A and B are shown apart, each in its own frame.
Chain A
Amino acid sequence: MNKKEFDMKKLTSMRLFLPIMCLLAMLIVAAITIPGFFKISVTNGVLYGYPIDVINRASELVILAVGMTLVTAASGGQDISVGAIMAVAAAVCCQILSGGEVSVTSLAAPLVLAMLAGIIVAGVCGLFNGVLVSYLNIQPMVATLILFTAGRGIAQLVTKGQITYIRVDSYMVAGGYIGKCPVPTPIFIAAAVVVVAYVILKKTAFGLYVESVGINGNASRLVGLNSRRIKLLTYIICGALAGVAGIVASSRIYSADANNIGLNLEMDAILAVALGGNILSGGKFSLMGSVIGAVTIQTLSTALYAMGVSGDQLPVYKAIAIIIIVVLQSPVFKKYMAGLKTKKAASGAAVEGGNQ
Chain B
Amino acid sequence: MVKQEKSSAPKKKLSLNGNSFLLLITVGLFLAMYAAGMVIFADKGFAKPQMFFNLFITNAGLLVISMGLTIVMISGGIDISVGSVTALVCMVVAYSMENMGMSAYVAVVLALGIGLLYGLVQGFLVAYLEIQPFIVTLAGLFFGRGMTAVISKEMISIKNETFLAWANYKIYLPIGSYSKRGKFLPAYIYPTVVIAIVILILIIIIMKFTKFGRSVYAVGGNTQSAMMMGLNVRKIRLKAYILDGLLAGCGGFLFCLNSCAGFVEQAKGLEMDAISSAVIGGTLLSGGVGTPFGTLFGVLIKGTITSLITTQGTLSSWWVRIVLSVLLCFFIVLQSVLGNLKKKK
Binding site for B on A (CB under 8 A): 78, 132, 136-139, 141-143, 145-150, 152-154, 156-157, 161, 258, 267, 270, 274, 280-281, 310, 312-320, 322-323, 326-327, 330-333
A-B contact pairs, 15 of them (CB 8 A): A136-B333, A136-B337, A141-B134, A145-B276, A157-B318, A258-B318, A312-B153, A316-B143, A319-B142, A320-B143, A322-B142, A326-B131, A326-B136, A330-B131, A333-B129
5 additional A-B pairs beyond A145-B328, A270-B135, A316-B146, beta carbons within 8 Å, are A147-B325, A150-B324, A267-B142, A315-B141, A333-B129
Query: With an 8 A cutoff between CB atoms, is B264 at the interface?
Result: yes
A313 to B153: give the CA distance in the assembly, Å: 9
B window 140-161: CB within 8 A of A: 140-143, 145-150, 153
Asked if B318 and A319 sit within 8 Å, CB to CB, the answer is no
**Known contacts A142-B285, A150-B326; A317/B135 CB under 8 A:** no
Residues of chain B lying within 8 A (CB to CB) of residue A143: 332
A242 to B138: give the CA distance in the assembly, Å: 20
Which residue of B has the minimal Cβ distance to A322?
B139
A274 to B132: give the CA distance in the assembly, Å: 13
Task: State the majority secondary structure of interface residues on B.
Answer: helix
Q: Nearest Cβ distance between residue B299 and chain A, in whole angstroms?
A: 15
Task: Specify which of B125, B321, B340 is in contact with A327 (CB 8 Å cutoff).
Answer: B125
Q: Nearest Cβ distance between residue B341 and chain A, in whole angstroms?
A: 12
Q: Nearest Cβ distance between residue B98 and chain A, in whole angstroms?
A: 19
**Known contacts A267-B142, A315-B143, A316-B150; A153/B336 CB under 8 A:** no
Task: Specify which of B136, B138, B264, B329 is in contact with A146 (CB 8 Å cutoff).
Answer: B329
**Known contacts A146-B328, A149-B276, A149-B328; A154/B139 CB under 8 A:** no
Residues of chain B lying within 8 A (CB to CB) of residue A153: 318-322, 325
A161 to B140: give the CA distance in the assembly, Å: 31
Asked if B142 and A161 sit within 8 Å, CB to CB, the answer is no
Which residue of A has the minimal Cβ distance to B269?
A149
Asked if A327 and B325 sit within 8 Å, CB to CB, the answer is no
Asked if B146 and A314 sit within 8 Å, CB to CB, the answer is yes
Q: Nearest Cβ distance between residue A2 and chain B, in whole angstroms?
A: 42
Residues of chain B lying within 8 A (CB to CB) of residue A146: 325, 328-329, 332
Task: Specify which of A132, A142, A274, A318 is in contact with B142 (CB 8 Å cutoff).
Answer: A318
Task: State the majority secondary structure of interface residues on A.
Answer: helix
Asked if B130 and A132 sit within 8 Å, CB to CB, the answer is no
Residues of chain A lying within 8 A (CB to CB) of residue B339: 137
A152 to B318: give the CA distance in the assembly, Å: 8
Asked if B149 and A312 sit within 8 Å, CB to CB, the answer is yes
- Most chain B beta-carbon neighbours within 10 Å: one of A258, A315, A317, A326: A315
Task: Specify which of B139, B264, B272 is in contact with A149 (CB 8 Å cutoff).
Answer: B272
Query: With an 8 A cutoff between CB atoms, is B275 at the interface?
Result: yes
**Known contacts A313-B149, A316-B150, A327-B129; A322/B337 CB under 8 A:** no
Residues of chain B lying within 8 A (CB to CB) of residue A331: 130
Task: Specify which of A137, A149, A326, A333 is in contact with B324 (CB 8 Å cutoff).
Answer: A149
- Most chain A beta-carbon neighbours within 10 Å: one of B140, B146, B147: B146
A270 to B138: give the CA distance in the assembly, Å: 10
Which residue of A has the minimal Cβ distance to B324?
A149
Residues of chain B lying within 8 A (CB to CB) of residue A323: 125, 136, 139
Asked if A138 and B328 sit within 8 Å, CB to CB, the answer is no
**Known contacts A137-B340, A149-B328; A132/B333 CB under 8 A:** yes
**Known contacts A280-B135, A312-B146, A326-B131; A150/B322 CB under 8 A:** yes
Query: With an 8 A cutoff between CB atoms, is B184 at the interface?
Result: no
B window 99-150: CB within 8 A of A: 125, 128-132, 134-136, 138-143, 145-150
Which residue of A has the minimal Cβ distance to B336?
A136
Task: Specify which of A258, A274, A313 is in contact with B146 (CB 8 Å cutoff).
Answer: A313
Residues of chain A lying within 8 A (CB to CB) of residue B150: 313, 316
Q: Nearest Cβ distance between residue A283 and chain B, in whole angstroms?
A: 14
In the A-B complex, list the 8 residue pairs whose CB atoms are closest, starting with the nearest. A312-B149, A316-B146, A150-B325, A153-B321, A315-B146, A319-B143, A315-B142, A319-B142
Residues of chain B lying within 8 A (CB to CB) of residue A267: 138, 141-142
Query: With an 8 A cutoff between CB atoms, is B210 at the interface?
Result: no
Residues of chain A lying within 8 A (CB to CB) of residue B142: 267, 315-316, 318-319, 322
Query: With an 8 A cutoff between CB atoms, is B179 at the interface?
Result: no
- Most chain B beta-carbon neighbours within 10 Å: one of A146, A148, A331: A146
Task: Specify which of B138, B276, B285 is in contact with A322 (CB 8 Å cutoff).
Answer: B138
Query: With an 8 A cutoff between CB atoms, is B7 at the interface?
Result: no
A319 to B328: give the CA distance in the assembly, Å: 28
Residues of chain B lying within 8 A (CB to CB) of residue A320: 139, 143
Q: Nearest Cβ distance between residue A275 and chain B, in whole angstroms?
A: 13
Task: Specify which of B130, B321, B329 is in contact with A332 (CB 8 Å cutoff).
Answer: B130
A336 to B344: give the CA distance in the assembly, Å: 39
Which residue of A has the minimal Cβ distance to B276?
A149
Residues of chain B lying within 8 A (CB to CB) of residue A136: 333, 336-337, 340
A323 to B147: give the CA distance in the assembly, Å: 16
Residues of chain A lying within 8 A (CB to CB) of residue B136: 323, 326
- Most chain A beta-carbon neighbours within 10 Å: one of B148, B318, B321, B336: B318
Query: With an 8 A cutoff between CB atoms, is B4 at the interface?
Result: no
Query: With an 8 A cutoff between CB atoms, is B316 at the interface?
Result: yes
